[in-house]
């Protein structure tokens, strides 16, 4: 079941002098089982939109259908907890949400809140650790003894352990070194490929968007500016320029070569294929 967002509007501190319109009529149908990127400049409404998806922000105007729930204004959703279980939201720098004495207890915190017994929750915590690339033996250690990257893995494990259908990630790789970032992204991709989880990724990193995502949503001033599949999006470097984002290296190179008279298949987004195409162009002219 896809996520259906209709005419969603949101204003912060409405009616006060500080009122600020963050979302201005969002219409989206985000497909199930795919990886969808949300991009846009700071203040474009990304985090406001994302916080609607698990009910952290209540719908003011419009509606959302997600994970079997229908969200609309003035409704008292008793099952909001269940919604939050089904839609896992990983915030930016999630390592700042750790608080328990042991890693195991911290990961088990969510499941216990969602109704598991402590024993069941701890059992789940044990099985989730290897999935985020941490050793099971760490379970009794304090999360505060870990390195920054490992802390983040524990925090992410704390969301994954709820086994959400939909996983919303806000800049999950920010601040990690390139290797750490890649490992992190691979973890999410495997959840998508192997377990069919729907993933929504808020990111500034166009290399990640190109490499991992199926669709791209561009937000600007609280409106959907573009919504298309990733390849279509990256065939239009000018769209990225308009929102002040540098295209990935391969897109820039392709564009520059095309401007200089090279004929390159717009479908190429792979380094190896591009190299072959360039080779044929440079040599065939002889």
Partner 1 sequence: MDAIEVNNLTFSYDSETDVLKDISLRIPKGSYTTIIGHNGSGKSTIAKVLIGLLEPQAGTVKILGRELNEENLYDLRSHIGIVFQNPDNQFIGSTVADDIAFGLENRQVPQEDMQAIIEESAAKVGMNDYLNAEPTNLSGGQKQRVAIAGILAVKPDVIVFDESTSMLDPQGKASINKQIRELNKNKDRTIISITHDMDEVAQSEYVIVLENGQVMMEGTPQEIFAHQDELEKMGLALPFALKISNRLKDMGVLDHGLLSLDEVVNSLCQLKSKN
Partner 2 sequence: MGNIALGRYMDLNSVVNKMDPRTKIMVLLIVMIAIFIPAGFWGYIPIAIFILAALKLSKLSIRFALRSMKPMMFMMVFLLVINVLVMKTGTLWFKWGWFSIYSDAVIQTLYIILRLLLMIVMTTILTATTKPLDLTLGLEKLLKPFEAIGLPAHIIAMMISIALRFIPTLIEETQRIMNAQASRGVDLENGTLKEKVMAVLALIVPLFVSAFDRADQLANAMEARGYDPSRPRTRYKMLKMHSADYMALCMALIVLLSDIGLWMAGI
Dihedral of CA 145/147/148/154: which sign?
Answer: negative
C-beta neighbour count of 154 within 10 angstroms: 26
Q: Mask of contacts with partner 1, 52-91, x by CB under 8 A?
A: ----------------------------------------
Where do we find the tokens 């190109």?
210
Q: Count the site residues for partner 1 by CB under 8 A.
A: 39
Which of partner 2, partner 1, none does residue 258 bind (CB under 5 to 8 Å by kind)? Answer: none
Rounded Cα–Cα distance for residues 34 and 20 (Å): 32
Show the beta-strand stretches assigned E in the chain. 3-12, 20-30, 35-39, 61-66, 69-71, 87-90, 166-170, 198-202, 215-220, 223-229
Give the range of 76-84, 95-103, 123-131, 252-260 binding partner 1 by CB under 8 A. 252-260
Q: Does 104 help bind partner 2 (rule: CB under 8 A)? A: no
The set of residues, in sequence order, having a beta carbon less than 8 Å from that of 115 and lying 6+ positions away, is: none
When binding is defined by CB under 8 A, the residue of 11, 41, 82, 211 that contacts partner 1 is 41
Task: Tell how strand 20-30 and strand 3-12 pair up.
Answer: antiparallel
- 3-state secondary structure at position 49: helix
Q: Which of 36, 51, 150, 198 binds partner 2 (CB under 8 A)?
A: 51
Q: Which of 17, 74, 76, 178 binds partner 1 (CB under 8 A)?
A: 178
Q: How far is CA 156 from the centre of its chain?
A: 12
CB of 165 to partner 1, least distance (A): 29
Residue numbers of the site for partner 1 (CB under 8 A)? 41-42, 147-149, 174-180, 204, 206, 244-246, 248-250, 252-253, 256-257, 260-262, 271-272, 274-276, 278-279, 281-283, 285-286
Residue numbers of the site for partner 2 (CB under 8 A)? 13, 16, 18, 51, 54, 56, 81, 84-85, 88-89, 91, 94, 96-99, 109-110, 112-114, 144, 158-159, 162
């Amino acid at each position: 079941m896809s996520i259906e967002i209709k005419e969603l509007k949101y204003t912060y501190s409405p009616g006060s002098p500080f009122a600020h319109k963050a979302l201005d009529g969002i219409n989206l149908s985000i497909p199930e089982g795919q990886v969808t990127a949300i991009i846009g400049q700071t203040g474009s409404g990304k985090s406001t939109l994302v916080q609607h998806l698990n009910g952290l922000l209540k719908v003011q105007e419009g509606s959302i259908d997600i994970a079997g729930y229908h969200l609309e204004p003035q409704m008292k959703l008793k099952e909001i907890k269940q919604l939050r279980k089904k839609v896992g939201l990983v915030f930016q720098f999630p390592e700042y949400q750790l608080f328990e004495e042991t890693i195991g207890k911290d990961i088990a915190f969510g499941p216990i809140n969602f109704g598991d017994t402590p024993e069941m929750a701890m059992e789940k915590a044990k099985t989730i650790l290897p999935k985020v690339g941490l050793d099971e033996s760490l379970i009794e250690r304090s999360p505060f003894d870990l390195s920054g990257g490992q802390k983040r893995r524990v925090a992410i494990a704390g969301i994954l352990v709820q086994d959400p259908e939909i996983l919303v990630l806000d800049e999950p790789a920010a601040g990690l070194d390139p290797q750490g970032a890649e490992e992190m992204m691979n973890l999410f991709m495997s959840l998508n490929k192997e377990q069919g989880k729907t993933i929504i990724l808020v990111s500034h990193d166009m290399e990640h968007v190109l490499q991992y995502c199926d669709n791209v949503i561009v937000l600007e001033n609280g409106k959907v500016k573009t919504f298309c599949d990733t390849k279509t999006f990256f065939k239009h470097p000018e769209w990225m320029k308009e929102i002040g984002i540098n295209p990935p290296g391969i897109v820039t190179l392709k564009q520059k070569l095309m401007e200089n008279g090279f004929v390159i298949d717009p479908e190429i987004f792979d380094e190896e294929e591009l190299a072959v195409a360039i080779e044929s162009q440079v040599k065939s002219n002889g």
